[in-house]
């Protein structure tokens, strides 16, 4: 689609291309890499502003490892990290299995042993804090944004996002805590 010229014809100025730090069950790793390289090559000759949007992940380390790897390969594009929205742990595990999320799903499965957490709404506070810390220490990583995947919890995700945008949170040692968290029964550490 990128090479058809239709995006330019209709004035599209910015495109986020799919990125799969934890792989994709339907596409072989070699094909994913080849497609990524082809999109990057297109970005170098196009006037369209392009960036990568990752699949959602549940912990920062797989993203950090992937960003380091593509940086070593010479990636010129900015990265927007896929962040899961507010959902129950049970729902998140289901979405992870359906979407082929790999290594970071293990974190969720360990937490599923706690029935309270299984039924409570989960907030990606620790993931955001870890990515923010990494991005501050490593600006060359080119993490410039995030993409929220509501995963069925659109209203709760919107409230969570709006509270952050309004500065209604406190940084803690490993995490951050929203001021409205206690009312919404969110579990912040994930």
46-83 pLDDT, tens digit each? 999 999 999 988 889 999 999 999 999 999 999 999 99
**Among the listed ranges 17-21, 82-86, 152-156, which one has the minimum average pLDDT value?**
152-156
172 versus 10: the higher-pLDDT residue is 10
What average pLDDT does range 1-21 have in this prediction? 93
Mean pLDDT score of the chain: 81
In 67-180, beta strands by DSSP E: 78-84, 87-88, 121-122, 143-149, 169-171, 176-178
Residue 98: its pLDDT value, please? 63
- Ordered by start, the domain boundaries in the chain are 2-187
Q: Which CATH architecture has domain 2-187?
A: Alpha-Beta Barrel (3.20)
Cβ proximity of 141 and 67 under 8 Å: yes
186 versus 85: the higher-pLDDT residue is 85
Cβ proximity of 88 and 118 under 8 Å: yes
81 versus 108: the higher-pLDDT residue is 81
Q: Spell out a b/e string for 87-104, using b for 16 or more CB atoms within 10 Å of the CB, else e.
A: bbbebbbebbeebebbeb
Q: How far apart are CA 91 and CA 152, in angstroms?
A: 8
pTM over 0.85: no
Residue 166: its pLDDT value, please? 85
Q: How far apart are CA 140 and CA 131, in angstroms?
A: 13
Residue 76: its pLDDT value, please? 94
Residue 156: its pLDDT value, please? 86
């Amino acid at each position: 689609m990128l090479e058809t010229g239709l995006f330019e014809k209709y004035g599209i100025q910015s495109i986020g291309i799919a990125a799969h730090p934890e792989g994709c069950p339907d596409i072989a790793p070699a094909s994913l890499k080849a497609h990524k390289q082809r999109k990057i090559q297109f970005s170098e000759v196009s006037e369209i502003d392009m960036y990568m949007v990752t699949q959602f992940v549940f912990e920062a380390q797989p993203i950090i490892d992937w960003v380091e790897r593509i940086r070593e390969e010479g990636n010129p594009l900015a990265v927007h990290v896929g962040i899961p929205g507010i959902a129950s742990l049970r729902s998140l595990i289901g979405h992870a299995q359906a979407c082929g999320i790999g290594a970071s799903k293990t974190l969720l499965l360990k937490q599923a042993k706690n029935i309270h957490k299984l039924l409570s709404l989960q907030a990606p506070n620790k993931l955001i804090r870890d990515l923010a810390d990494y991005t501050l220490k490593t600006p060359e990583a080119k993490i410039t944004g995030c993409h929220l995947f509501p995963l069925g919890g659109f209203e709760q995700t919107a409230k969570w996002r709006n509270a952050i945008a309004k500065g209604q949170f406190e940084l803690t040692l490993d995490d951050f805590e929203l001021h409205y968290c206690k009312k919404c029964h969110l579990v912040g550490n994930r």
